[in-house]
Amino acid sequence: MTRKHTILKASEIFGESTPQEQMHASSDQGGTDTIDAPSAISAIRQSGLVGMGGAGYPTWKKLAKSYSVVIANAAECEPLLEHNVARLETDSDRVVSGLVLAMKIVGASRGIVAIKSKNTDALDALTASVRTFNDAHPSGPLLSVSLLEDRYPVGDARAVVRDVLGTLIAPTAHTSSVDALLLNVETLLRIHEVLLENRPVATKDITVAGLIDGSGYEHDTSLVLYDVPIGTTIRQVLDALHIATPGPDDQLLLGGPYMGDAARLDDPIAATSGGIMIAGPELRDRGPVGIIVCACGASQDRLTAIVDAEGAQLAGTVTCKNVVTLPDGRLKCANPGICPGQAQAVLALKKQGAASLLISHCTDCTNTVMQIAPKLGMRVHHATDAYLRAGGEHLIRAHRISQTTHQ
């Protein structure tokens, strides 16, 4: 089921209207049928809009090519994050409008929204918006909804293409190799706002989760903040929500529990920021601890910092069997979310003296590790543990189909 979340507008917590809200009554610039591709690309370029799912690639550059299909990535696969799901619950018509605008700009004949089936409220709103559009445009273009499993990293671009279109593209390839363009839900919302509401791109939706003492909400609730002005600091957000300032042993991430980066209170919210995660200290481990580095999770530096925070000796570091190292040094999964087996990595670390493992694996690879490591007497920690504990969520360990996971 969908994680509990509460939606707050920035003006409600900061006491003043954001540029988006100030221009809420601005005149409509025409419908999606009147779009002129060159003018639209120029407007989006001038707005400075970038991919708001985290990559930050200039949106106008993506829209400057032709594609046969545009996919709205509504997976939001990071645990605790809920702002994309919330937007579909409250603004599905505007997100669908952004999708249609993107399709018209690139000449696509199909638009698909990829969303987890567990997000029932968002799915209901989305389905209604898609049906309304299709009924009004019987001759096309055609919109549809594709349901995703609740597994990490189902929102990875290559995973979305694989699960929606049935094609696994190479780790070095782009989705354009299958004539598909992927755009995040919030990016599509901002396309609608730029082109049809003449609004600037000056704000970001974020999720605040974890240790939210003082906010008036329980830890099992994610706080979704709409339209936080870009440049606002983490400290300003927490103060506005009356959340207690994290202590010296607490942890801050800017982003989600898997891929987020360690943050400081005076770090600003950027156009690519997904969330503010607050957690207590890591659990102590007597070690030695072995690290398995994967492509879809925390960086090696962050994993090493967690071992230090646990007060343990590092036994060694190996890479996940699913990892492919690109020429530029970046790591990619050979097949995102599909585990090729982890016995070799676990046994290698056991031979190096590891009594515990620290991983940041996807759902499937974590499940594989859990079938091996405990039988060897090894304790298992996951990079997301402190944040999921703080947010009242189940830890990522063995995956059972009969149970609902929160990822």
* One domain for residues 80 and 154: yes
* One domain for residues 156 and 59: yes
Least Cα distance to 383 among 312, 311, 297 occurs for 297
Q: By residue range, what is the domain housing residue 325? A: 289-390
Residue numbers of the chain with a pLDDT score lower than 70: 16-30, 32, 399-407
CA 253/CA 242 separation, integer angstroms: 18
Phi, psi of 208 (to 5 degrees): -115, 125
* One domain for residues 226 and 354: no
Longest dimension (CA), the chain: 67
The per-residue pLDDT for range 69-118, each reduced to its tens digit, is: 999 999 999 999 999 999 999 999 999 999 999 999 999 999 999 999 99
Count of domains observed in the chain = 3
CA 249/CA 247 separation, integer angstroms: 5
**Helix, strand, coil percentages, rounded to 5, for the chain:** 35, 20, 45
| Three-state secondary-structure class, residue 91 | helix
- The first and second tokens of residue 63, run together, are 């829209």
CATH assignment of the domain containing 191: 3.40.50.11540
Burial (CB count <10 Å: 0-12, 13-18, 19+), residue 403? exposed
Residue 92 lies in a domain: yes
CATH assignment of the domain containing 247: 3.10.20
CA 381/CA 359 separation, integer angstroms: 6
C-beta separation of 71 from 176 below 8 A: no
Residue 19 lies in a domain: no
The partner residues of 381 in beta bridges, in order of sequence, read 358
CA angle 63, 65, 69 (to 5 degrees): 80
CA 277/CA 256 separation, integer angstroms: 7
Residue 397 lies in a domain: no
CA 37/CA 335 separation, integer angstroms: 35
* One domain for residues 323 and 368: yes
The per-residue pLDDT for range 6-50, each reduced to its tens digit, is: 999 998 899 866 555 555 444 455 576 778 999 999 999 999 999
Burial 378-392 (b: 16+ CB within 10 A, else e): bbbbbbbbbbbbbbb
* One domain for residues 42 and 185: yes
* One domain for residues 305 and 366: yes
- The first and second tokens of residue 164, run together, are 């929606």
Taking each continuous run of H as one helix and of E as one strand, the counts in the chain are 13, 16
**pLDDT recorded at residue 30:** 58
Residue ranges with strand state E in 255-313: 261-262, 275-279, 289-293
* One domain for residues 218 and 303: no
Least Cα distance to 232 among 35, 4, 15, 30 occurs for 15
* One domain for residues 250 and 300: no
Which helix or strand (DSSP H or E) is residue 89 part of? helix 83-106
CA 32/CA 45 separation, integer angstroms: 18
**pLDDT recorded at residue 403:** 36
| Torsion region of 162: left, alpha or beta (phi above 0 gives left; psi -120 to 50 gives alpha) | alpha
